[in-house]
Amino acid sequence: MIRWRRMSGYNALWVPGVDHAGIATQVVVEKKRERKLTRHDIGRDKFISEVLEWKDQYGGTILNQLRRLGASLDWSRECFTMDEKRSKAVPEAFVRLYKDGLIYRDYRLVDWDCTLLTAISDIEVDHLDLKEETMLNVPGYSTPVQFGVLISFTYPLEGGLGEIIVATTRIETMLGDSAIAVHPEDKRYKHRHGRYAIHPFHGRKLKIICDAVLVDPTFGTGAVKLLHQPMIQMTLRLESDIT
């Protein structure tokens, strides 16, 4: 189409460019290393240098195929998403969008890979619904890992007024708990509304709140633990060690 438009007198441009493939390239380059050193051992600059070497060796395959096909590209503009110009353009674009109020920054739960030690996107995650305890093989682990287990534990109430039991599949995230939610119509907890539980590790007061949307009174204990947002990143980092 570009060649046809150019031959028809249009000022048409096709810029040759290749993407770095993010996590996939990172994994391939790390596996290719002869020494037992990770990217963290050698440092960011050295690892990026190795990624660029790998790109020069293998990443040119697509562009070479386009050349052999006789595609009408402007080869003087060839670019790569991690080259100097593009690396400067990306943060510049995000800063401008942020200053213009078109994007925002906030604390959010992320998909954290405990082996790669990095966040990954939703499309890079395989979602699996489990109905019972299941042992699954996980990359980076020598033995199967336990999933699908609902763990119940007790929080004491302030003033020695009893206790409240919550259930979770991720017990390690209790380090960041800041509140407990119950269904407003759940008769088991009506006398607990507005009271406080005490976190056993650091003494933080966890308010018992009501939420008819978030809480399913028929699931688990009917009491849901809530994470404190600034604690999320710390908790996620801890998961790799605890798990």
Can you give the pTM of this predicted structure?
0.53
What pLDDT is attached to residue 42? 79
Q: Is residue 20 part of a domain?
A: yes
Is 121 exposed, middle or buried (CB count within 10 Å of its CB: 0-12, 13-18, 19+)? exposed
Per-chain mean pLDDT for the chain: 84
Distance between CA 58 and CA 86 in Å, rounded? 20
**Domain final position from 83, 118, 143:** 83
Tens-digit pLDDT profile for residues 133-157 = 999 988 778 899 888 898 999 999 9
What pLDDT is attached to residue 135? 93
**In 3D, which of 34, 94, 88, 83 has the Cα closest to residue 56?**
83
Tens-digit pLDDT profile for residues 57-110 = 776 788 889 899 989 999 999 888 888 888 899 999 999 999 999 999 888 778
Count how many domains the chain has.
2
Domain that holds residue 53: 1-83
- Answer yes or no: do 204 and 144 share one domain: yes
Q: Is residue 176 part of a domain?
A: yes
